Structure 1
Amino acid sequence: MSKKKKCEMVYEESKDVFFAKMSLILLLINPFQYFIGLLGIRYIEVISSSALIILMLIKNRKYLNNFSIDSVSLYLFFSLAVMISGFSYQDYLINWIGIIYFLLFSTLPWYVLGRKTINYKSTISYLTSHNFVIFLFVGLMYLHKSFLGIVKVGDMGLSYAALPIAILSTYALFSGKKKMQLIYLFFSLFIIVTVGSRGPLLAYLAYVIIYMLINFKKHYILVTIVTVLGSVFYFNFYKAISYIVNFLAKKDIYSRTLYKILDGTITSGTGRDSLFEESIYLIRNNPFTGVGIGVERIHIFENVYSAMGRSQMLSSSYPHNLFIELIVQFGVVIGLLISAIILVITIKAIFTGDSYSKNFALIFFGIGFMQLMVSSSYLLSPYFFYFIGIAWTIAAKRSKRKYCVTQEKRRQIHENCNNTNG
């Protein structure tokens, strides 16, 4: 092997390791921001985490050469859109600056990283083998909150921080890897069920169901067993939930999610109906242009939260649904177009990729996409932009491969016709 070839192999291996490490760092952002936030300095969580990412990208810029056209276009699109939206932020300039900072330095860079991450096999292996790191950080986060007595029911930060542990350990166990992952799974599910809100549980169940659908041929025996056990649980659903609730109650553990399932109120009382109503009102009044990026927050804050006497809720004044948020911001036509593109590349990435690519996409679908159906905002979610970067890469590669195959077939047919005519 030539020296040049060896250098190229070393470069590719180090590049794959770098992107795998960055994906792990992404999953540690939540606990990292929690511990940094203990310093009590305003905005320190966001500034420190984004600064860390930017510094790492600058230090390893040799792996980021040749930015894709879509990455540049996305930056230009959001930069222009957020600048235009600035005219509606006269009384909320600090929030406008915050959105600009979030987009340009905290979330969009992860789209670029998602587009550059292409060795899905090694990245999945790296994440599952380093699941203990996430387990350690989230465990420390849980212990610290317990020590301070601030672990509360519906703790979204803690439960969403535990979600990657549950998904990665489930993938590892389905793949027949270390039994230590069982401990990680039980720990993360314990937090999600007893402390968390309904979103993380929904995301985890969606991941498991889709995993079984796309990996049935590979693990058909295991999937069949899980399906049978799941069916038995379903037909004894309330009896099983009642048993779990009573068991936890004896241990002085209360789960709002399980109680709401038992009472049949799991889909009610979310407190978001007024947010949806205000968002629909804004869509009806701005069907073609939308209100602009983040501008719906001002309306929701002034017309919903301020009326309720909650004057500190501007940062949470978003629709809590990805597709409604896109439509209210960009209008019906552009909003639906963006939503359609997201759905198409998501379906292509998860259901038509090879084994490693679709499972890698599914992991971050569960972590970063499902949350946006019921909570948070895409503007604040590095997980979402990372997932979209992954999905776009996988979908684009498949489309390109299909195009190349079609062109090759056409060339062969043309040659055969020429030979026959000759």
Structure 2
Amino acid sequence: MENNPKLLDKTKRNTLKTLAKSGASAVLLSKAPYVFARTKTVLKVLGTHVTLQNELREQAMQDLGIDLVFEARGSAAVMQKASMDPSSFDLYEQWSNSINVLWAAGAIQAIDKNRITHWNEINSLTKTGKITDSAKIGAGDAPFKILHVQDDGSLGTDHTDKISFLPYVHNVDSFGYNTNKIPQGVPYDTESWGWLLDAKNRGKVGIVNAPTIGIFDLALAAQAQGVLTFNDIGAMSKRELDILFDYLIDLKHQNHFSGFWTSVPESVDFMRSDRVHIESMFSPAVSALNGQNVPVSFAAPKEGYRGWHGVMCMSSAISASNKDAAYDYMNWWLSGWPGAFIAKQGYYISNPQRSAKFLSQAEWDYWYRGLAARHDLQGTDGNISVKKGDIRSGGNYETRFSNVAVWNTVMPTYDYSLQKWYEFISS
């Protein structure tokens, strides 16, 4: 058959069209996974350096398949931001003294207790206020008093299906002191909050700059020094606050205090640089300093500890799409590994038995049972924070939480105490 130029042109044009369509389809197919892929859920977590640590973030993202954005600030700053702007976070991690403020501000919403996988494993500390039958409940905002959402929307002790926070990390706080500068005391016997205000330590004292925390360190210290006796240290009157702060401002003018820290890293710097010999302190700072060969002892005051309980709260502004991921993250915290991780910096978890299998027997015996370390133990930073033979100050878990003098608290005189605190800091 004789070639037909018109037919060849038509065939060529059709072939080119087919190739063009195939090429376009190939481009679309190559892009399809990106066009139709589901984006990861991103949870914004607002809190302090105490729990917002990168190791925890990375492990949670790996385990849960979500993205986490941590924003860590000082305790006063995070509480202020959360109460004023609930849209700035999905989950909030701080301490139980923030609950009344956040609840009153409408910044957080109730958590469905039935969606907490290991709720039945959570021990009695937050459910009844006592870790043992003989334990002191402690003054102020003991967590069990503000855990359950009552039928009228208030927070109280009657158990319901709605809770204001997830009980998870907790500990008792006191003060740390450099035993090269201040002789080692005897737990529950000679160690005293009064040391913070002892003239022998003038110019070398650091205090945590948090109105609902530092105020109790100083109140316990003033009471131990015999300056005044509080009718109820968890609910100080205006008159008691006036007396306390007149005394503290006078000491400040005598340069008794070297500084006021706002974060755990800053407290470590205070002690490591020899700016202070004694200061309000949280357990991770003690572990970090010991890991850097700075001999800091964490006191077990004879007057009792200041207790704190970590709270994880859900924003009132969280999106419906993020809520499931928020519950997954809360449940992850009680799944075992996170509790074991934070045990290595001296913190407890509300269902400790689940974390026991993630700790060596030596770690469990030291951190929870109060026994002598069988060998050197590493902290969360990989440094040796516990030397062989060391015994945790204050003893085992039950002993420490049986000796809480007062909890971190927002008092009825909260607004007035804030005013007095900032007068003190700026004086």
Q: TM-score range by the shorter chain?
A: under 0.3
Choose between structure 1 and 2: higher helix proportion.
1
Q: Which has the higher contact order (CA 8 A, sep 6+)?
A: 2
Q: Which protein is bigger by CA-based radius of gyration?
A: 2
Choose between structure 1 and 2: higher strand proportion.
2
Length-normalised TM-score, structure 1:
0.24
